[in-house]
């Protein structure tokens, strides 16, 4: 049995695909209204944010909001379950000076990576930086002063995977979100 199969056998479904897609559609309505009349830089944090960001971008396009796409790859995990120092694998090429930036990622857990990326965007001269995450983990350990401006769903304070989030680099492409049982 693979590691992913074992994880699924010891996990519960937290959000199915229908709930995820409905949450993304709700987020798109709000974001479209907030960015009306502008073309934000749409920064996706790889790899986890890719599935969510793609779906959200399509929903925003369906609502008439144009985006300028770029991405970044910064990680603290490198396949582990706890993070270390931030490692930049790719920085965005789009100039951010004077621009509105929307960072998209799969999860806001404690927020160390998102805080570092937000601060980097500000240091590059972004006029505004907002954060959209598919899920936020329910706990009180987040980096002080960090929050997601747009949130799709909440997940329990357990190891979660699926829809961009991995279980030891596996299962990112699962169309649902699971949490390991305690």
Strands, sheet with 177-180, edge to edge from the N-terminal-most edge strand: 11-15, 177-180, 160-161
What CA dihedral angle connects 17, 22, 25 and 31, to 10 degrees? -110
Q: Which residues of 134-145 are buried (b: 16+ CB within 10 A; e: fewer)?
A: bbbbeeeebeee
**Active-site residue identified among 16, 70, 105, 109:** 109
Structure tokens at 18: 């229908």
Q: How far is CA 78 from the centre of its chain?
A: 17
Q: Residue 80 catalytic?
A: no
Structure tokens at 179: 């949490």
| Radius of gyration of the chain measured on its C-alpha atoms | 16
Q: Is 106 helix (H, G, I), strand (E, B) or coil?
A: strand
Catalytic residues: 109
């Amino acid at each position: 049995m693979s590691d992913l199969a074992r994880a699924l056998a010891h996990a519960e479904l937290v959000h199915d695909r229908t709930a995820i897609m409905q949450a993304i559609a709700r987020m798109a309505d709000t974001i479209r209204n907030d960015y009306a009349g502008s073309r934000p830089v749409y920064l996706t944090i790889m790899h986890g944010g890719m599935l969510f960001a793609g779906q959200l971008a399509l929903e925003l396009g369906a609502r008439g909001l144009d985006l300028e796409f770029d991405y970044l790859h910064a990680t603290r995990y490198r396949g582990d379950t706890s993070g270390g120092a931030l490692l930049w694998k790719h920085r965005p090429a789009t100039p951010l000076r004077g621009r509105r930036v929307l960072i998209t990622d799969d999860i806001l857990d404690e927020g160390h990576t998102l805080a570092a990326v937000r601060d980097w965007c500000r240091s590059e001269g972004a006029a505004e930086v907002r954060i959209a995450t598919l899920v936020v983990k329910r706990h009180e350990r987040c980096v002080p002063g960090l929050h997601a401006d747009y949130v799709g769903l909440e997940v329990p304070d357990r190891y979660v995977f699926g829809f961009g989030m991995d279980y030891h680099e596996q299962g990112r492409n699962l169309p649902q979100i699971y949490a390991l049982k305690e």
